[in-house]
Structure 1
Amino acid sequence: MTRALTRPAATLIGFSAVSLWALLAFLTAASGTMPAFQLTAITFGIGGLAGVALWLLRPQAIKALRQPLPVWLLGVVGLFGYHFCYFFALRNAPPVEAGLINYLWPVLIVVFSALLPGERLKPQHLIGCALAVIGAVLVITKGQGFSFDPQYALGYGAALAAALIWSSYSVLSRRFAAVSSDAITGFCLATAVLSGLCHFIFEPTIWPANPWQWAAIVALGLGPVGLAFYVWDIGVKRGDIQILGATSYLTPLLSTLILILTGYAQYSHFVLVACILITAGALIAAKDMLLAGRRPRPAP
């Protein structure tokens, strides 16, 4: 199915992951006080089981699990390794600074993508990323600045490792473009099992207090921690990975806007400035794709 997609169409499908990830903070806040690894185990389990359920409609999809070891290593290290390092960073460093370092992954995707066959890093990609990075800093710090304390070096290192893991996973996935996105089902289930083990080792067990919290957890598993990884896989394999990297900075902005609209955060003028910067950066990075349809076709 994905082989028939055009590059712009695959890019738009990949961008839908950014929209889904924007719901992550809101749904996590609505899910209650469940510990991080427990929540990860349950939501990835839901996302993986949803993929298994679709096998009833597409029985041939189960064949996607028959992959060589390098594919499994990339998928499991990408999904589980990223979340493990990110949660470790949040436990061992201030969340603002850890979040800033973690959000190096979009610009790293843009830079690393230049190493892929057929890809070329253009000035517009770097300019777009630079504007988006500034906007993301405003969103994450709420315009109040930040500082790095050497005593949190371990946490900062884990945040950087998370950024490197996710950017490397996203770029290296292009090397395995022939692998069906149905394989994500297996990666999600493996991540759920490994996260469950980490939960039993490091965390207490806390269950949701009401049906609304359960609903938020199910929504997490079906959307930001489920469908998002499938469509992201299509995007990075067949779409414009540099545009996806630059536009990924919309995630913290959209996430903040959703939190404001739902009452979990308050509006501030820095959000408007960040919106202008990130949107401008995304448009600059995607200039070629946006103008492609307006270019005159050569005469036959």
Structure 2
Amino acid sequence: MIVSRNNATLIGLIAVLLWSAIVGLIRSVSESLGATGGAAMIYSVASVFLLVSIGFPKLGEFPKTYLIWGSLLFVCYELCLALSIGHANTNRQAIEVGMVNYLWPALTMVCAILFNHQKSNLLVIPGFAIAILGICWVLGGEQGFDLATMWLNIQDNPLSYGLAFIGALIWAAYCTVTARIANGKNGVTLFFMLTAAVLWIKYIGMGAEPMHFDLNALIYLAFAAGAMGFGYAAWNIGILHGNVTILAGASYFIPVFSAALAAVVLHTPLSLSFWQGAAMVCLGSILCWFATRQK
């Protein structure tokens, strides 16, 4: 199938929209099916979508180091992402946790500079600082930047906030490592299947608590799995055949898009200080991106 550059770019932008919906959808599924059980269902159904849209990769053509490290880092990240949102105490906290996860673009640029010898300029320093400040602003609640309130919020659920931050570090490592060892290969279908398998093992090992299926749960499950699976498939088309500059620029606004969609899906109003913090995260990531662009 031949896709024009404009159509491929549009498909890539659809991926940005789909990924932006993930936080609200994962949270909605976890409310009915549980944090672990819901995540296991999402990645299982998403794996089916990926098998249909992308197919199963020819593993014999993949570098062994990519299969090992790519699988390990990808699975660990997806576990951190899904469980951090699923274990949030409130919907507002789930959105905050999602915002912490979106530190990964700025962290990826820093890792690329440190480990891949990516050329950059000093703009990366204020960019990274603004992204970190944005997260502090989000966690400070109504007061904005307030270290005492931020610490109280983290203490309320250190598991979710910790998993989200660790996930951001892991995804930055994944992007940095796979850029060097993937050799142009894409193992996302395999990685999703491995993530689902690990989640099912964890679910069964914890006693397999019952999942409560109803129409709403099934609808949110289908949307969440579709956003995950088709999001990766659409992004792959966009990156291969579309305008990468437009797609990269749009991806840095995912934190704001994600918060807006999650607020609608979860019926959770967000304060002005939250949006200010989200804007800082986007701005910081964009500055880091500009710092590494070649003339």
TM-score, normalised to structure 2's length? 0.70
1:227 aligned onto 2:230: yes
* Superposition pairs of residues 36-55 of structure 1, within 5 angstroms: 36-54=35-53
Higher mean displacement: 155-164 or 127-136: 155-164
Preserved CA contact (<8 Å) 1:44 1:192? yes
- The offset of 1:236, in angstroms, is 9.2
**Which amino acid in the other structure matches residue 172 of structure 2?**
S
- 3-state SS of 2:267 partner: coil
Preserved CA contact (<8 Å) 2:23 2:258? yes
Task: Please name the residue that 1:83 is paired with.
Answer: 78
Q: 1:137 to 1:254 in 2, by over 3 A?
A: farther
Q: 1:63 to 1:80 in 2, by over 3 A?
A: closer
* Superposition pairs of residues 1-300 of structure 1, within 5 angstroms: 13=12, 18-31=16-29, 32-54=31-53, 62-66=56-60, 67-85=62-80, 102-115=101-114, 117=116, 119-144=118-143, 145-147=149-151, 160-181=165-186, 183-202=187-206, 204-223=208-227, 225-230=228-233, 250-262=253-265, 264-274=267-277, 276-287=279-290
Q: 1:43 to 1:90 in 2, by over 3 A?
A: closer
CA distance in 2: counterparts of 1:48 and 1:157, whole angstroms: 27
Higher mean displacement: 247-256 or 198-207: 247-256
- 3-state SS of 1:147 partner: helix
Preserved CA contact (<8 Å) 2:20 2:255? yes
Q: 1:262 to 1:153 in 2, by over 3 A?
A: closer
Preserved CA contact (<8 Å) 1:80 1:195? no
**Which amino acid in the other structure matches residue 43 of structure 2?**
F
CA distance in 1: counterparts of 2:238 and 2:140, whole angstroms: 29
TM-score, normalised to structure 1's length? 0.70
Any stretches of 5+ residues in structure 2 without a counterpart? 144-148
CA distance in 1: counterparts of 2:277 and 2:22, whole angstroms: 19
**Which amino acid in the other structure matches residue 131 of structure 1?**
I
- The offset of 1:85, in angstroms, is 4.3
CA distance in 2: counterparts of 1:260 and 1:152, whole angstroms: 20
Deviations 1:21-53 (A, max 9, x none): 321222124334212222222221222212222
Q: 1:269 to 1:175 in 2, by over 3 A?
A: same
Q: 1:213 to 1:177 in 2, by over 3 A?
A: same
CA distance in 1: counterparts of 2:234 and 2:196, whole angstroms: 19
Q: 1:212 to 1:272 in 2, by over 3 A?
A: same
CA distance in 2: counterparts of 1:78 and 1:250, whole angstroms: 24
Preserved CA contact (<8 Å) 1:173 1:236? no
CA distance in 2: counterparts of 1:153 and 1:26, whole angstroms: 20
Q: 1:51 to 1:247 in 2, by over 3 A?
A: closer
- 3-state SS of 1:123 partner: coil
CA distance in 2: counterparts of 1:157 and 1:288, whole angstroms: 28
Identical amino acids, percent of aligned pairs: 20
- 3-state SS of 1:33 partner: helix
Q: 1:108 to 1:237 in 2, by over 3 A?
A: farther
Preserved CA contact (<8 Å) 2:34 2:211? no
**Which amino acid in the other structure matches residue 269 of structure 1?**
L
Paired residues, what number?
277
Task: Please name the residue that 2:146 is paired with.
Answer: none
- The offset of 1:93, in angstroms, is 9.6
Any stretches of 5+ residues in structure 1 without a counterpart? 56-60, 293-300
Preserved CA contact (<8 Å) 1:139 1:253? no
